Amino acid sequence: MLCRGKKLLGEALAAGLVVDTVAFSGDVTPHAGCARLISMPEDLIDYISKGEPELLFSCRIPESRGAAESAVVLEEVQDPGNVGTVIRTAAAFGVDTAVLVGATADPYGPKALRASMGAAFRVNIIKTDLEGLGGLLEDSGLTLYAAVLSEDATDIRDAERMPRAALAVGNEGHGLSDALLALCARKVIIPMREETESLNAAAAAAVALWELFGKEL
């Protein structure tokens, strides 16, 4: 994957990722531990990075681990900014795994990486389908909560907290599929004023993750 900025480089190295190449310009001093350093003209770096950081690097995408202690599940979440923000929030509340189902945006794309602020290097990211998700939940012993706008959902403040849990967040437009909802043991809803139709996917995930996991910190 291609990443931008000295902060992300530091996060990648701290996470133990293999950094192949770092391209930099000006007075930027790359971190030690990189396989190859390339000094490039500043205008070329600016062109490649669209005028953003003055340092670019490539590194190996980390391998996924099979088991999870806790997880956030994203189904068909299409905005890479939302994907990165949810991964960052999950890391902040101690959730160790992010499961991406269906056509969810690439967590290692530039926008998602910027939004995750390096959390994508620390959180175990698994890309799978519904069958794979079912197997992961069973193997890891996780109870799946669904964040939904539904009359039969429990106020998330009143929902029973399970010691091993996962939270499912759906597509920005149509939410979670019926097939994924069938895997959920509990449906939860975030209470809000009647005139507010819904929350942004990343905002809803942040509130729900705090309720399910953050209070244990």
What phi-psi label fits residue 43: left (phi over 0), alpha (psi between -120 and 50 degrees) or beta? alpha
158-172 pLDDT, tens digit per residue, is 888 888 999 999 988
Q: What's the whole-number average pLDDT of the chain?
A: 88
Q: Return the DSSP state at 171.
A: B
Look at residue 87 in the predicted model and tell me its pLDDT.
97
Least Cα distance to 123 among 99, 91, 93, 100 occurs for 91
Strand arrangement of the beta sheet that strand 55-59 belongs to = 2-4, 55-59, 19-24, 36-39
Q: How far are the Cα atoms of 19, 124, 182, 195 from residue 185, in angstroms, in the given order?
A: 41, 23, 8, 29
91-139 pLDDT, tens digit per residue, is 999 999 999 999 999 999 989 999 999 999 999 999 999 999 999 999 9
Q: Return the DSSP state at 18.
A: -
Q: For residue 104, what are its two tokens?
A: 């969810």
Does 17 score more than 80 pLDDT? yes
Domains and CATH numbers, the chain: 2-59 (no CATH), 71-216 (3.40.1280.10)
